[in-house]
Amino acid sequence: MESKDSNILEYMVLKNLSLLNYKNFETASFEFDSKINCLVGNNGVGKTNVLDAIYHLSFGKSYFNPITVQNIKHGEGFFVIEGNYDKKNREEKIIVSAKRGLKKIIKRNGKPYPRFSEHIGFLPLVIISPADRDLNCRGK
C-alpha cells in the first residue's frame, strides 16, 4: 500500500532536453541535475528560450509566444522539442513538434495524443517571469 507521503510527493524530474530549430537553437541538448539547475549566459543566448521549450513540453505551447510558427527558428520549416523525464520511477519521453501548415503534435512515449487536453496536467509546471511581477504592481 502506498504511504500518504508518497502520494503527496509525486516524484518528477526532467533528465534531458533536446531542441531542433526551436527559436534561436538549430540543435541543442541539455542534461539536468535532479535538484537545482542554473542557466548562465549573455543576453540573447537563449536561456529564456530553454525555459519556454520546457513549458512547451508541459502545455503544448509557448508561454511567451502563443503563435506556434513564430517559435520555429527563422528560415526553417519545423521544430522538435524532446524531453526525457523520470516520473514516479517510470521513463517518460515527451516530444512536441510543429511544422508550418500542419497541426502541432504531442507524443508521449511515441504515441500521439488525440487531444492535447489529455496531456495537460501530466507534467505539472509553473513559470514565473518578470512580466508577472509587473502585473502585480499594477494591481496593488
Ligand X SMILES: Nc1ncnc2c1ncn2[C@@H]1O[C@H](COP(=O)(O)OP(=O)(O)O)[C@@H](O)[C@H]1O
| Residues of the shown chain interacting with Mg ion in the complex, contacts defined by CB under 5 A | 47-48
Q: Does 27 bind ligand X (CB under 6 A)?
A: no
Give the nearest distance from C-beta 97 to ligand X in angstroms: 15
Give the nearest distance from C-beta 6 to ligand X in angstroms: 36
Of 106, 110, 85, 92, which Cα lies nearest the Cα of 16?
85
Q: Of all helices (H) and strands (E), which one includes residue 111? A: strand 111-112
Instruction: Name the binder of 24 from ligand X, Mg ion, none, CB < 5-8 A by kind.
Output: ligand X
Cell of 47: 536561456
Give the nearest distance from C-beta 20 to ligand X in angstroms: 13
Of 112, 106, 26, 8, which Cα lies nearest the Cα of 58?
106
Q: Which is nearer to ligand X, 29 or 70 (CB)?
A: 70
Encode burial over 84-119: b for 16+ CB neighbours within 10 A, e otherwise.
Answer: bbeeeeeebebbbbbbeeeebebebeeeebeeeeeb
Q: Does 101 bind ligand X (CB under 6 A)?
A: no
In the list 46, 56, 60, 68, the residue contacting ligand X (rule: CB under 6 A) is: 46
The binding site for ligand X (CB under 6 A) comprises 23-24, 41, 43-49, 70-74
